[in-house]
Amino acid sequence: MIQEDLFKKIVAHCKEYGFIFQSSELYDGLSAVYDYGQNGVELKNNIKEYWWKSMTQLNEEVVGIDSAIFMHPTIWKASGHVDAFNDPLIDNKDSKKRYRADVLIEEHLEKINDKIKKEVEKARKRFGEAFDENQFLSTNQKVLEYSQKIDSIKKEFVEALDENCLDKIRQIIVDQEIVDPVSGSRNWTEVRQFNLMFDTKLGSVAEGANTIYLRPETAQGIFVNYLNVQKTGRMKIPFGIAQIGKAFRNEIVARQFIFRMREFEQMEMQYFVKPGEELRWFDIWKERRMKWHQSLGIDPSKYRWHKHDKLAHYANAAYDIEFEFPFGFKEIEGIHSRTDFDLSQHQQYSGKKIQYFDNESGESYVPYVVETSIGLDRTFLSILSAAYKEEQLENETRIVLNIPAPLAPVKVAVLPLVKKDGLPELAREIMDTLKLDMNCQYEEKDSIGKRYRRQDAIGTPFCITVDHQSAQDRTVTIRYRDTMEQERIPVEKLAEIVKEKVDMKNLLKELL
């Protein structure tokens, strides 16, 4: 299936089956804001639970908090967000569309990279078994030219970003003849900086209102609580603080469904370490986080690392984990070594000492921080796009979501074959036992085939069918979503079998 079509289908499927709705749809919608429906919220909560447990339960030295969205405005001055949380924007004068200038350049680089990939594939076909990819990459003239082009654009780009020179960013767009992806026009405006923070007023205007911000990241809530948690939890370095919560950014371009929203959720963890040990911890957390993604059972080739060419002024190392969405490889999580920048800034702006006293060495220092920052909504989209399958059966197409069983919105559907002969009663009895442990659905409407399809479409891993034989011998059939195989088992054994398969433990175990 063409990837663009796949993406359209996923978006439509999300709406049709109660995963995601456009916010304020009744009023024609609010751009780049989405609501999670009855199935979406279950999947989202399960992803959160998995991340939360993997952080706070599997790591004894990581604890969680839940800080407020509103914070003292000076926090955002100290963190640099008031002055520097900007994206460079550019408008196309013909199409009147607005773009992020940095994204236009990155997409241009990706296109050149795709050309290299095409050359490699062509050569692979031509040379067959004997093909040596590394040798080809280092000797083929065309590939070398493309690689040189990428390097020289990247060099200019990093220079422009380092100097914060908007004219130079624009010049790259002009020199590379980058066109508006919609209209094909090259009629660009100047590049301008645009601050992404939303602001609002605290208190009534008459009382002398203060401008405060909706947090653009959850991390600052962790930094300003560092001392509280360290002291009350008697935490010893190295230790981490994890948090899940909403963040808000007034994104310039927000066209890719829940990939880029103006209100979204982050799952962040800041790990406080001794200065000088940050790069060792950075490598450890890089590995742990990739393992977490790969435990979801998605094809490992869908993930790749992206090293930041331009480091933020506070970072001394930064990598992104990118996922291959239907619209290409894009960032899903960032892992950053943030030095002591944030804590030092808060120390300076608050006038309060933020230091750690190391009992063993007898020294005090401002801890360094390694952060892992993952977008919950992007993770949701990655799981859903990997799970969506259209399978050709004998007489029909079946749409199925192969979501890992512990994350599935509904774990079990209980389906009496007919609405009489005592079958609904037995089905209800089964529901009453299972629903104490997991989210179950009872359905008696429509043919059993139609009911199976509906459950496949929301990713329910198990369907339990109660038939006439069940009423006689208390056995039921269990149908497995992925293989569609059916098996007859005693009602008394059901809870044990299903519970074992949907347990979050199955995912957590893979991280040990």
Contact partners, residue 196, CB within 8 Å, separation at least 6: 85, 86, 87, 216, 249, 250, 251, 252
When binding is defined by CB under 6 A, the residue of 221, 334, 406, 459 that contacts ligand ATP is 334
When binding is defined by CB under 6 A, the residue of 342, 377, 456, 467 that contacts ligand ATP is 377
When binding is defined by CB under 6 A, the residue of 94, 331, 358, 503 that contacts ligand ATP is 331
Contact partners, residue 238, CB within 8 Å, separation at least 6: 61, 271, 272, 273, 274, 277, 281
- Residue 369 interacts with ligand ATP (CB under 6 A): yes or no: no
**Closest to ligand ATP by CB, 137 or 196:** 196
Q: Which stretch binds ligand ATP (CB under 6 A): 11-19, 138-146, 345-353, 370-378?
A: 370-378
**Closest to ligand ATP by CB, 158 or 495:** 158
Residues in binding contact with ligand ATP, number by CB under 6 A? 16
**Closest to ligand ATP by CB, 263 or 443:** 263
- Where b means 16+ CB within 10 Å and e means fewer, 50-64 reads bbeebbbeebeebbb
Radius of gyration of the chain (CA): 26
For the chain, the farthest-separated pair of C-alpha atoms sits apart, in whole angstroms, at 80
Count the neighbouring beta carbons within 10 Å of the beta carbon of residue 203: 10
**Closest to ligand ATP by CB, 249 or 346:** 249
Residue 217 CB, nearest distance to ligand ATP (Å)? 6
- Residue 338 interacts with ligand ATP (CB under 6 A): yes or no: no
Cα 498 vs. chain centroid, distance in angstroms? Answer: 28
CA 97 to CA 93: how far, in whole Å?
8
The helix (H) or strand (E) run that includes residue 87 is strand 86-92
Residues numbered 189 to 228 that lie near ligand ATP (CB under 6 A) are 217
Task: Decide the pairing of beta strands 98-100 and 188-195.
Answer: unpaired
Q: Return the residue nearest ligand ATP (CB atom).
A: 375
Helix 423-434 vs helix 491-502: crossing angle, to nearest 10:
40
**Closest to ligand ATP by CB, 331 or 358:** 331
Residue 130 CB, nearest distance to ligand ATP (Å)? 40
**Closest to ligand ATP by CB, 334 or 424:** 334
- Residue 375 interacts with ligand ATP (CB under 6 A): yes or no: yes
- Residue 458 interacts with ligand ATP (CB under 6 A): yes or no: no
- Residue 378 interacts with ligand ATP (CB under 6 A): yes or no: yes
Q: Which stretch binds ligand ATP (CB under 6 A): 53-61, 329-337, 391-399, 421-429?
A: 329-337
**Closest to ligand ATP by CB, 218 or 460:** 218
Per residue, what are the HEC states of 371-439?
A: EEEEEHHHHHHHHHHHHEEEEECCCCEEEEECCCHHHCCCCEEEEECCCCCCHHHHHHHHHHHHCCCCC
**Closest to ligand ATP by CB, 198 or 365:** 198
Contact letters for ligand ATP, residues 237-266 (x by CB under 6 A): ------------x-x--------xx--x-x
SS3 67: coil
Contact 398, 427 (CB under 8 A): no
- Residue 333 interacts with ligand ATP (CB under 6 A): yes or no: yes
- Residue 342 interacts with ligand ATP (CB under 6 A): yes or no: no
CA 246 to CA 69: how far, in whole Å?
7
Contact partners, residue 39, CB within 8 Å, separation at least 6: 17, 18, 19, 409, 410, 458
When binding is defined by CB under 6 A, the residue of 243, 373, 455, 465 that contacts ligand ATP is 373
Judged by the rule CB under 6 A, the positions of this chain that interact with ligand ATP are 217, 249, 251, 260-261, 264, 266, 331-334, 373-375, 377-378
